[in-house]
Amino acid sequence: MSKAKLEYIWLDGYQPTASLRSKTKIEEDFSGKLEDCPMWSFDGSSTEQAEGNSSDCLLKPVAIFPDPARKDGYLVMTEVLNSDGTPHSSNGRATIDDDDDDFWFGFEQEYFLWDVETNLPLGFPRDQTPQGQFYCSVGAKNAFGREIIERHLDLCIEAGINVEGINAEVAAGQWEFQCFAKGAQKAGDEIWVARYLLERLGEEYGIAIVWHPKPLGDTDWNGSGMHANFSNTTLRTCGSQEIYEKICEAFRPVVKEHIDVYGAYNDQRLTGKHETQSIHEFSFGVSDRGASIRIPIMTVQKGWKGWLEDRRPSSNGDPYKIAARIIKTVKSADV
């Protein structure tokens, strides 16, 4: 009789930014299939998701991955439900209107490796070396924490997460990984599990993972975003500049609705500097990294068949809520 370790992962109800939570369930003779993961529950009064006199919340398994760091282990991403089986108010995944998986998402997740002893990014230059030399860098004076991010890449691949690349980012101790999935819910699942693996890996090194979009405050150092690349059948096949511009224009009147779900403290990052558009403005343009939405040059070169990149989501944003809002706006363009 074999026993498997199922790590149930969920998002808590903390505001303004949800945190990852998890606990282990032991199952005998487990098949490894999602449909054989049982529903479970947890104490919502300890996660800002329920009152103490009625504290049970349910965990509904929605995705499963082999756990590369545990013998006979699995990572089970779950949705939080109320005790009556309805989606909890913190459940962004349940708000996604993409039943046919027509929307594809690629998220570019930036973050900082944070030295908990110095309370600064790993390798942060005390001589105030200006940013620039660290982007896609190599060498002990430039790239800090490579062992961690290489191990994280391997863990993601072994878990079956469709990570498409990694790179050192503009600031010291800042890195990025990219995930792509066909289907908005699947894209969100993979980002959250990849984040979980990175957080758990950081424990081994005593290094914190900082998702805050501007952890170095009002300085001349880049913040961290999570650019959302997205497409649907229309964007992938239309071949029309007019349709692309109509879809982009659909975002203009709902700037607030997007910013509201694009991550807390994003006003500190979206200043109009460091390759961002101001949080108070909206713009789009071909190959424009200072725009709210960038139309990739590859899309144009392929005859206006491709995708768009919303550059506003912050590194601490919930990919479920970000995708849900983008889908709603694109559908509103009625093209």
Q: Of 335, 331, 282, which Cα lies nearest the Cα of 310?
A: 282
- How would you classify the pairing of strands 226-231 and 308-310? antiparallel
Pick the more confident residue, 126 or 31.
31
Average pLDDT across the chain, whole number: 95
Binned at pLDDT 50, 70 and 90, residue 59 comes out as very high
What pLDDT score was predicted for residue 53?
A: 80
Binned at pLDDT 50, 70 and 90, residue 61 comes out as very high
Q: Of 126, 138, 27, 43, which Cα lies nearest the Cα of 76?
A: 27
What pLDDT score was predicted for residue 249?
A: 98
Q: Which domains does the chain have, with CATH numbers?
A: 3-89 (3.10.20.70), 104-332 (3.30.590.10)
Pick the more confident residue, 184 or 278.
184
CA dihedral over 9, 114, 165, 326, signed as positive or negative:
positive
Distance CA 168, CA 81 (A): 38
Tally the residues of the chain. 335
What pLDDT score was predicted for residue 222?
A: 87
- For 105-120, write each residue's pLDDT tens digit: 999 999 999 999 999 9
Span 73-95, average pLDDT? 97
Binned at pLDDT 50, 70 and 90, residue 175 comes out as very high
Listed in sequence order, the DSSP H helices in 97-208 are 146-159, 184-205
Span 40-44, average pLDDT? 97
Strand order in the sheet with 3-11: 20-28, 3-11, 73-81, 56-66, 40-43
Distance CA 58, CA 48 (A): 14
Binned at pLDDT 50, 70 and 90, residue 217 comes out as confident
Span 262-267, average pLDDT? 97
pTM score = 0.96
Span 19-31, average pLDDT? 97
| Mean pLDDT lowest among 15-19, 51-55, 240-244, 284-288 | 51-55
Residue 127 has pLDDT above 80, yes or no: no
What pLDDT score was predicted for residue 131?
A: 78
What pLDDT score was predicted for residue 283?
A: 96
What pLDDT score was predicted for residue 296?
A: 97
| Mean pLDDT lowest among 121-125, 235-239, 253-257, 266-270 | 121-125
Distance CA 262, CA 220 (A): 22
% of the chain beyond a pLDDT of 90: 89
Residue 126 has pLDDT above 70, yes or no: no
What pLDDT score was predicted for residue 273?
A: 81
| Cβ-contact 326, 231 below 8 angstroms | no
- State the DSSP string of 39-69: PEEEEGGGTTSSBTTB-EEEEEEEEEEE-TT
Q: Of 265, 132, 152, 133, which Cα lies nearest the Cα of 207?
A: 152
**283 DSSP β-pair partners:** none
What pLDDT score was predicted for residue 135?
A: 93
What pLDDT score was predicted for residue 272?
A: 83
- For 297-316, write each residue's pLDDT tens digit: 999 999 999 999 999 999 99
Listed in sequence order, the DSSP H helices in the chain are 146-159, 184-205, 233-237, 241-250, 255-259, 297-301, 319-332
% of the chain beyond a pLDDT of 70: 99
Angle subtended by helix axes 184-205 and 319-332, to nearest 10? 160
